[in-house]
Structure 1
Amino acid sequence: MGRNLQTGERLRPVDLARGLGLSTQAIRNYEAAGILPAAARTPHGYRTYTPLHAAALRAFLALVPGHGHHTAASIMRAVHEGAADEAFRLIDESHAELLTDRHTLTAVESALRDLAPSPSKAGESAVTPRPGGTFIGPLARQLGVRPATLRKWEQAGLVRPRRDPLTGYRVYDEADVRDARLAHQLRRGGYLLEQIAPVIAQVRSAGGLQPLQATLRDWHDRLSARGRAMLAGAAELEAYLRERG
């Protein structure tokens, strides 16, 4: 059984802040926000902390990389308010968000693989732009969608066709066809337009599909780092809960 850290040595705010890159004001702010349990006061009104407060601070700082500052603070407040189930629910929500992000990454990778250039099979027509651009009707037929769908995607910012100066018709260039194909693949995967828009924005900012591979690798790394950070945060929180008893 762990030592009861609620008793024993007294610690000053500077003792908690030292070595963590925090200011003593940050320690006081964390206490006021409920991230740390309330401190005792000396007869002269000075705050005194204990190793239990240090354990709470370690738990909070370990939770932040995986859950973010706001959620980590909410978890600690729930613990100190005696609402452990609420704390666990918040943790579950973060894990669910991480899983959703993983599914999104998988869908994007799958969509990009489907967009990779490959020889067309006999009888299949590739979705490629004509010289000078593709009009909405031919593009809709090639994708197997209605023109109204392409117009809806345009309203959502997924495609940005120019207008022919003589006819006013929409003209889709090579980048527009690429974006339409990517939107089509992700929509088939069940993703909403508001979920697809950031992905297409990344493709545009990367300058195409090939440069996006580095972004995808970085995305993988960040998801893995967040997963490990959640494990580290859970270990520190569990240690703190044991010490609280």
Structure 2
Amino acid sequence: MRPIDLAREHGLSTQAIRNYDDAGVLPPSARTETGYRRYTPLHAQALRTFLALRAGHGHQRAMAIMRACNRDDSESAFRLIDASHIALRTERDTRSDVAKTLGSLSSTPPTPIPGPPLTVGELAHRIEVHPATLRAWEERGILRPERDRTTGYRRYGPECVRDADIARQLRRGDYPLDRVATFLDALREAGGADALRTFLDAWQDRLQARSRALLCGAAQLDAYLTMLDQA
């Protein structure tokens, strides 16, 4: 098989095939007397495997997995695969925690209400907590107050007041500080409660798609390893 034969199946350029060969994604290839690369069905399966792995593991990790397989280091390859699954499980748990936290709020999370910034004492009085609690929440990344440029005092703007209201409600439901911080990070990134619900749906779709991609990559890798064992 020629480079163009491998490239055509996936709509790639012949230069891409040569690059993958040089990078160790493909097993060593033979050369003709005139120096042209010659490939076999094993190389074609290696390319299918890499492209399938790339969809679930990302480009760099997929390359590392293929290099490990091609140097007969299955232990390293499997460890890289395990790491991707662990990372996906962690992300899935985080998404689940954020969704559960959103659903646990007794009402729709408050939205920022325009108004002048509050002092630490004013905010503490408003949500009925001690000022030291607000400082502790700041240390854990739950609150992000601005500082007065002249006095250095904390100033809690509308979004910070909203976050404090949510934090108080979640803490009364015995949510640990790290889960409160994770939820508020997601809320800020999404841009509000309604946007967060949309964000969570899209996040779930991405997780499902990546899980399927990991399965497809595993199937192609199993076929490739079988061919290597028989070579």
TM-score exceeds 0.5: yes
Q: 1:148 aligns with which of 135, 145, 158?
A: 135
Instruction: State the Cα distance separating 1:214 from its structure 2 match.
Output: 0.8
State how far apart, in whole Å, the 2-side matches of 1:177 and 1:162 are: 12
Match runs of 1:133-212 below 5 Å: 133-137=117-121, 138-139=123-124, 142=128, 146-153=133-140, 158-162=142-146, 169-180=153-164, 185=170, 188=176, 190=178, 196=182, 200=184, 202-212=186-196
Instruction: State the Cα distance separating 1:191 from its structure 2 match.
Output: 5.1
**Larger helix proportion, structure 1 or 2?**
2
* Structure 1 gap segments, 5+ residues each: 1-10, 119-125
Give CA deviations for 1:37-82 in whole Å, capped at 9, x if unaligned. 0110111111100011000000111111111011111000000011
3-state SS in 2 of match to 1:36: coil
Conserved in 2, the CA contact under 8 Å of 1:107 and 1:189? Answer: no
* Structure 2 gap segments, 5+ residues each: none
Flag the 1:107–1:183 CA change in 2: closer, same or farther, 3 A: farther
Match runs of 1:16-55 below 5 Å: 16-55=6-45
Flag the 1:192–1:207 CA change in 2: closer, same or farther, 3 A: closer
The range that moved more, 99-108 or 207-216, is: 207-216
Match runs of 1:121-136 below 5 Å: 132-136=116-120
Conserved in 1, the CA contact under 8 Å of 2:167 and 2:180? Answer: no
- Percent of aligned pairs sharing the same letter: 45
State how far apart, in whole Å, the 2-side matches of 1:38 and 1:166 are: 67
Instruction: State the Cα distance separating 1:208 from its structure 2 match.
Output: 1.2
- Aligned: 1:236 with 2:220: yes
Q: Counterpart of 2:51?
A: 61
CA RMSD of aligned residues (A): 3.2
Conserved in 2, the CA contact under 8 Å of 1:129 and 1:172? Answer: no
3-state SS in 2 of match to 1:19: helix
Q: 2:80 aligns with which of 79, 82, 90?
A: 90
Paired amino acid for 2:176? R
TM-score, normalised relative to structure 1: 0.76
Conserved in 2, the CA contact under 8 Å of 1:115 and 1:181? Answer: no
TM-score, normalised relative to structure 2: 0.81
Q: Counterpart of 1:8?
A: none
